[in-house]
Amino acid sequence: MWFPVSLNLKKPVNSKFTQQELPACKPILSPGWVITTFAFIGLIFIPVGLASLFASQRVVEIVDRYDVACVPEHLQDDKLAYIQNSTVDKTCTRKLKVPRLMRSPIFIYYELENFYQNHRRYVKSRSDKQLRSREGESDTESCSPEAKTSNGSVIVPCGLIAWSMFNDTYGFSINSKVLDVNKKDIAWNSDKYHKFGSDVYPKNFQSGPFIGGGKLNSSIPLSEQEDLIVWMRTAALPTFRKLYGKIEVDLEPNEEIMVTIHNNYNTYSFGGKKRLVLSTTSWIGGKNDFLGMAYLTFGGLSLLIAATFILIHLIRPRSLGDPSYLSWNKNPAGYSN
């Protein structure tokens, strides 16, 4: 650009914004401020931590691992054969003792361990389009290898996730009196109403040579198959819990619950564990001591840091804005005159 062109330039606007003089706060980490902040955070966090720890402690949780116990003695050596044998009766009974009063609602979870629901091959193997509406039925591209039956007709719901649906069932009774398990509203509403269509019915499901997990009633639309919906929301970690149902009566202490388990699901081939969990909730959710501990730890740390700073400040105070810290004052050779 080689021209003596006078560029048409305007006079700058004289405003606080253009001159970069907007009012600003410049927080300075002065010792007083820092110590106060830390102390304050500590004082807030410790009660919060105590409260959540307390809340977590109030949550009553019964965990029962049944995958080994439910295999008959003589079959313990080859659990895989047991589970794959469809002729064997898989019913098994467990007795659970209520340690403390459990107020309703009591949530029933199943917990799987060492199950990679987050494996990429697994997570990808579903078709949201197909699940959402009937029009997307043939959209099974992503579902491989569980997309179509051997004769080429589409599977609804397709994919490995649905195919491997958990199918153990639990029945509860106290003193031979059956406890009702409410299996409604165990899935997220957004899933029920937006992600799983009410006009989508299972089709050709579990009809292939390999049977994965549970089967579905093909007369009920997907949006009402809440077990499936829960299962389809893949877990982030290889150990996970999923909601099975709710018991809507209080359980008295020391009551003994009879659980009738249909132990159908195969976790034996990969050494996974199965647990049944009964839990109440509190305002922090389920039982989670970690949150309270974390609050306590950081609250404590904050207080400790505050105390340390107070000590440092008392022993070796650095007066703020002390010019002797300026680089040209620190270096004696810097400016001599």
Partner 1 sequence: MARPGRRRDKLRWSKLYTFSCVRPAVLLDTENPPSLQGPGSPASYPSNYISTTKYNIITFLPKALFEQFRRVANIYFLLAAILSLTPVAPFSAVSMIAPLCFVVGLSMAKEALEDWRRFVQDMKVNSRKVSIHKGGGKFAYKPWQTIRVGDIVKVEKDQFFPADLLLMSSSYDDGICYVETMNLDGETNLKVKRCLEATLPLDDNTAFQDFSAIIRCEDPNPNLYSFVGNFEYDQQVFALDPSQILLRDSKLRNTSYVFGVAIFTGHDSKVMQNATSSPSKRSRIEKKMDQIIYILFTLLVLISLISSIGFAVKTKYGMPEWWYLQPLRTTNLFDPSQPALSGIFHLVTALILYGYLLPISLYVSIELVKVLQAMFINQDIQMYDEETGKPAQARTSNLNEELGQVDTILSDKTGTLTCNQMDFLKCSIAGVSYGIGSSEVEIAAAKQMASEISGAHERVSSSQNPWENNAFRTSEIELESGITCKIDKVRKSAVKGFIFEDNRLMEGNWSKEASADVILLFFRILALCHTAIPEANEETGSFNYESESPDEGAFLVAAREFGFEFCKRTQSSVFVRERHSSSHPIEREFKVLNILEFNSKRKRMSVIVRDESDQILLLCKGADSIIFDKLSKNGRIYEEETCKHLCEYGEAGLRTLALAYRKLEESEYSAWNTEFLKVKTTIGPERDALLENMADLMERDLILVGATAVEDKLQKGVAQCIDKLAQAGLKIWVLTGDKMETAINIGFACSLLRQGMKQICISTTTADQNISLQITNASQMIKLEKDPHAAFALIIDGKTLSYALEEDMRYAFLNLAVDCASVICCRVSPKQKAMVTRLVKEGTGKTTLAIGDGANDVGMIQEADIGVGISGVEGMQAVMASDFSIAQFRFLERLLVVHGHWCYKRIAQMICYFFYKNIAFGLTLFYFEAYTGFSGQSVYDDWYMLLFNVILTSLPVISLGVFEQDVSSEVCLQFPALYQQGPKNLFFDWYRILGWMANGIYSSLAIFFLSINIFYNQAFRAGGQTADMIALTMSHFTWIQHLFVWGSVATWYLFLLGYGITSPLYSRNAYKILIEALAPAPSTGSVNPLDHHVIQEIKYYGKDVEDRHMWTRERSKARQETKIGFSARVDAKIRQLKGKLQKKYSSMGVLQSA
- Using CB under 8 A, which residues numbered 272 to 301 contact partner 1? 279, 281, 285-288, 290-291, 294-295, 298, 301
Are the C-beta atoms of residues 131 and 197 closer than 8 Å to each other? Answer: yes
Distance CA 176, CA 202 (A): 35
Question: Which residue from 70, 96, 302, 303 is in contact with partner 1, where contact means CB under 8 A?
Answer: 302
Q: Which residues pair with 246 in a beta bridge?
A: 107, 182
Question: Which residue from 86, 210, 315, 332 is in contact with partner 1, where contact means CB under 8 A?
Answer: 210
Binding segment toward partner 1, per CB under 8 A, in 87-95, 126-134, 140-148, 252-260: 140-148
Counted residue by residue, the chain has a size of 337
Amino acid making up residue 121: R
Our finding on whether 193 is near partner 1 (CB under 8 A) is no
Interhelix angle 31-58/289-315, rounded to 10 degrees, is 160
Distance CA 5, CA 108 (A): 80
Min separation Cβ 49 and partner 1, Å: 10
Concatenated DSSP letters of 98-142: --S-BPSPEEEEEEEES--TT-HHHHHS--HHHHH-GGGGG--GG
| Cβ nearer to partner 1, comparing 75 with 305 | 305
Min separation Cβ 75 and partner 1, Å: 19
How far, in whole angstroms, is CA 9 from its chain's centroid? 59
Distance CA 31, CA 321 (A): 12
| Cβ nearer to partner 1, comparing 185 with 256 | 185
Q: Which residues pair with 260 in a beta bridge?
A: 93, 171
Binding segment toward partner 1, per CB under 8 A, in 69-77, 127-135, 148-156, 185-193: 185-193
Are the C-beta atoms of residues 114 and 146 closer than 8 Å to each other? Answer: no
Question: Which residue from 246, 255, 264, 307 is in contact with partner 1, where contact means CB under 8 A?
Answer: 246
Question: Which residue from 157, 202, 212, 214 is in contact with partner 1, where contact means CB under 8 A?
Answer: 212
Min separation Cβ 309 and partner 1, Å: 6
Min separation Cβ 31 and partner 1, Å: 7
Question: Which residue from 149, 239, 260, 264 is in contact with partner 1, where contact means CB under 8 A?
Answer: 239
| Residues 55-74: x where in contact with partner 1 by CB under 8 A, - otherwise, as a string | --------------------
